[in-house]
Structure 1
């Protein structure tokens, strides 16, 4: 199949419009007591597009949406795409610092705000946009600020007949922001052509009839891409403002009772909460089609537990903001891991169609199977670059290959195993220590629900490991037991010099532990405890 020309109407948009039109009165979106059919979704998108166009927005301008998971979110994004406006959805619960930075950095011509509760009220987000110099402000509903136009009311006064798609294949479709776990987030540029390539890479067999997707993580992140892809197939999407394991179990039970199916996407910490919920053993899981997970590492022993308790219904996706499709581990891989290849529980799967993954050594040459090195990715799903950061783009993107910042190895069958982040590598007395490996060992202890390991300065060894542990319901673990557990599994160099116990580990975007916050909270290191390093 020949790729469309860069100046052709964007196939990502034209195909979505055609598919949505074909589903007519079928329910597309549900949020609480409200719902919207595919016809109503397309109608609202055209009406919104006319409001934006009449306000002066056009091809190449920027639009930022600040919201949780409102019912109208998909229509806002589709309206922007129809006009060829570059779109930046931002999860409103990410904090004021993140919001203020994106509003300055993305340079939007317009901002749409949707009230996200006490943590992110619409008036505060509008004030932040105004401070950033944005003149054109819209709200998803009426509000107290007269300078914020009610987009829904304005759209209601517009006709909904179809508009031609102004977007072109080579145009910037979205500027998505990284999680900001090591500093201020960077904007990542994607063309419409790249979005089409990503949709093809993740496409599998058609979804079963009557399937509903439960969007319990922010639609500004991976859940939004999954939802948009499923909507193309006529799948209904139910939106939630926050994850709740009890609600998810009720939806699964309801689906089982009615002969329907549901699917969802979870960050690993949310999957842990589902596994730990007291109601799981008594829930009829026949209505659960699948659970996709990703965005952060998952402890192999907990993944094995998930397969035992949920069955072979799991799908893992490995992607980055800079590469929106890399590898996948499907239900058949999870079943194989449970039956005969338990090492696959530590894998993130094999490259998706159109994507090439390679491991390179310190000399830049491709490493042999089994050797650890830097993970590099190439293919049409890789970003065009960082938004207005050519120097940083040049450091990670060369000759079409993205240096992901992850360390890993490939086995003979093409399965990728991530061993850590290059920036997280801690050198303890000359020994390379991967925090992720230590975290995986610590969470095998029944009294450790979650662990995050960071490197801290140490006068004796240069660097040392500090382990932050969140207690499981069984109670706080004994430090001596944890030290022995790590020593037996990984050797003495990997034994944390210091332990801190907390109720919950803070997370940044996408469910990853916020290690920058942990470093700020617990550094500098206290002196190395006597005996902690005696075996070096």
Structure 2
């Protein structure tokens, strides 16, 4: 049984879908989300009324507002009510009876390598990056920001809440076909998107001259994708960020970043790499722990956090990732990061996605095997891997998949592919 949105923190009549107008909202304490007086909100072109009649959430723990099971037309008003009152909310299914104090919310990890975990965050952890966005992008009330994914996707939720907090017009395009989303981007100036979402926009081939800034996150974003987006949005600066649900923004890269690097530290972030090659960071954007679930790879020590990513820093402070510690496996007593092989594969013409996984082997402990999406021939890709990495690292086999398994956020569903390996695919 899911916990309903608490009526103790805001009346259900406080926010409703509407077609006309909205009331100016008061500015609350700076460590809480709020809805800026200049903010506008639409869903598929229809205005959502923003009202300020929500009573402040009382002190002490209260039931978490469960937005996850609600249809979008109900979820948006419920979320707006939580933002106006400070009531705790979640955008992923949460056990009944869970309580949190005001100024708290939950998101979820992608679940690409394991069961999704519920991330506990304070409003302040996102507000700190809202301020940085406003400074770096020069955000004004004249800006329009589009939300492409569902509210259960952390990037989409972030974009929505940031836009309302900073006072721009937010166009929620969730659920529209990619071609209709691309058409609705006409006039949008700010955009957060995953590489998959950018690919769908590019495929629609509609010019986007109004775009000023695009932030891409959630996966690799190559030079060809950047060039395709630049052709449609010639006036946009394009930033690619690396981070995790636990850390939020960690690094930023742009057209000047060295190839294969995820960039330099995001403003306000300190980075270091330890003797085990684990990447650690410290910033005002960190999570407050897991509300549900845990991760063996996540460690918190004296204000520094690692989520198990490995890598190295060059002399200029650019971060290069080599993989995740929890994906590494041993081949003939040699540690192998599957991301090393995946990078070779995705650099080949005709490959859009690739994943390498371990297959148990009696002699070597495990051997790498893989799947890919695209029209490249397996023997060509095998030869490329042997040439780049040597025969000891090249995968034993590669198989094309016509239907690539993706999670809602656009990341590869590695658990689904692991089941194919285990089943003898």
Give the alignment's TM-score, normalised by structure 2.
0.81
Deviation at 1:301, TM superposition (A): 5.4
User: Partner residue of 2:15?
Assistant: none
Deviation at 1:31, TM superposition (A): 1.6
User: Partner residue of 2:285?
Assistant: 381
Structure 2, unpaired ranges of 5+: 1-27
Cα distance between partner residues in 1 of 2:195 and 2:233 = 14
Structure 1, unpaired ranges of 5+: 1-8, 91-101, 110-166, 256-260, 338-342, 363-372, 527-536
Cα distance between partner residues in 2 of 1:463 and 1:179 = 26
User: Partner residue of 1:79?
Assistant: 81
Q: Do 2:378 and 2:399's aligned partners in 1 also have CA atoms closer than 8 Å?
A: no
Query: Superposed, which structure 2 residues align to 1:309-348 within 5 Å?
Result: 310-311=233-234, 313-329=237-253, 333-334=254-255, 336-337=256-257, 343-344=258-259, 346-348=260-262
Seen in structure 2, the aligned counterparts of structure 1 residues 492 and 388 have a Cα distance that, compared at 3 Å, is same
Q: Is it true that 1:11 corresponds to 2:30 in the alignment? A: yes
Relative to its length, the structure with more helix (as a share) is 1
Q: Is it true that 1:352 corresponds to 2:266 in the alignment? A: yes
Query: Superposed, which structure 2 residues align to 1:386-401 within 5 Å?
Result: 386-387=290-291, 396-401=299-304
Query: Superposed, which structure 2 residues align to 1:62-461 within 5 Å?
Result: 62-66=64-68, 70=72, 73-90=75-92, 102-104=93-95, 107-108=97-98, 173-203=104-134, 204-207=136-139, 210-220=142-152, 221-242=154-175, 244-252=177-185, 254-255=186-187, 261-275=188-202, 277=203, 279-280=204-205, 283-299=206-222, 302-303=225-226, 306=229, 310-311=233-234, 313-329=237-253, 333-334=254-255, 336-337=256-257, 343-344=258-259, 346-362=260-276, 373-387=277-291, 396-461=299-364
Deviation at 1:358, TM superposition (A): 0.8
Deviation at 1:418, TM superposition (A): 1.7
Q: Do 1:419 and 1:436's aligned partners in 2 also have CA atoms closer than 8 Å?
A: yes
Deviation at 1:72, TM superposition (A): 5.6
User: Partner residue of 2:50?
Assistant: 41
Seen in structure 2, the aligned counterparts of structure 1 residues 270 and 196 have a Cα distance that, compared at 3 Å, is closer
User: Partner residue of 2:384?
Assistant: 485
Deviation at 1:10, TM superposition (A): 4.5
Deviation at 1:400, TM superposition (A): 1.4
Seen in structure 2, the aligned counterparts of structure 1 residues 202 and 431 have a Cα distance that, compared at 3 Å, is farther
Cα distance between partner residues in 2 of 1:393 and 1:443 = 29
Q: Could you report, residue by residue, the CA deviation over 1:424-478 in whole angstroms, capped at 9, with x for unpaired residues?
A: 123222333322232222223333222122222122321111211112xxxx322
Cα distance between partner residues in 2 of 1:433 and 1:424 = 9
* SS at structure 2 position matched to 1:508: coil
Deviation at 1:75, TM superposition (A): 4.1
Cα distance between partner residues in 1 of 2:125 and 2:201 = 34
Seen in structure 2, the aligned counterparts of structure 1 residues 172 and 207 have a Cα distance that, compared at 3 Å, is closer
Give the alignment's TM-score, normalised by structure 1.
0.66
User: Partner residue of 1:29?
Assistant: 41
* SS at structure 2 position matched to 1:437: helix
Cα distance between partner residues in 1 of 2:106 and 2:157 = 14
Seen in structure 2, the aligned counterparts of structure 1 residues 483 and 303 have a Cα distance that, compared at 3 Å, is farther
Seen in structure 2, the aligned counterparts of structure 1 residues 425 and 388 have a Cα distance that, compared at 3 Å, is closer
Deviation at 1:80, TM superposition (A): 2.5
* SS at structure 1 position matched to 2:72: coil
Q: Do 1:62 and 1:108's aligned partners in 2 also have CA atoms closer than 8 Å?
A: yes
Cα distance between partner residues in 2 of 1:499 and 1:267 = 26
Q: Could you report, residue by residue, the CA deviation over 1:337-363 in whole angstroms, capped at 9, with x for unpaired residues?
A: 5xxxxx34x22222223221111122x
Match of 2:372 among 469, 478, 481: 469
Higher Cα radius of gyration? 1
Q: Say what the alpha-carbon RMSD is for the aligned residues.
A: 3.2
* SS at structure 1 position matched to 2:392: helix
Cα distance between partner residues in 2 of 1:212 and 1:456 = 48
* SS at structure 1 position matched to 2:68: strand
Q: Is it true that 1:494 corresponds to 2:408 in the alignment? A: no
* SS at structure 1 position matched to 2:271: strand
Q: Could you report, residue by residue, the CA deviation over 1:63-95 in whole angstroms, capped at 9, with x for unpaired residues?
A: 2102588356454234334544321113xxxxx
Query: Would you say how many aligned residue pairs link Structure 1 and Structure 2?
Result: 395
Q: Do 2:297 and 2:326's aligned partners in 1 also have CA atoms closer than 8 Å?
A: no
Cα distance between partner residues in 1 of 2:292 and 2:178 = 40
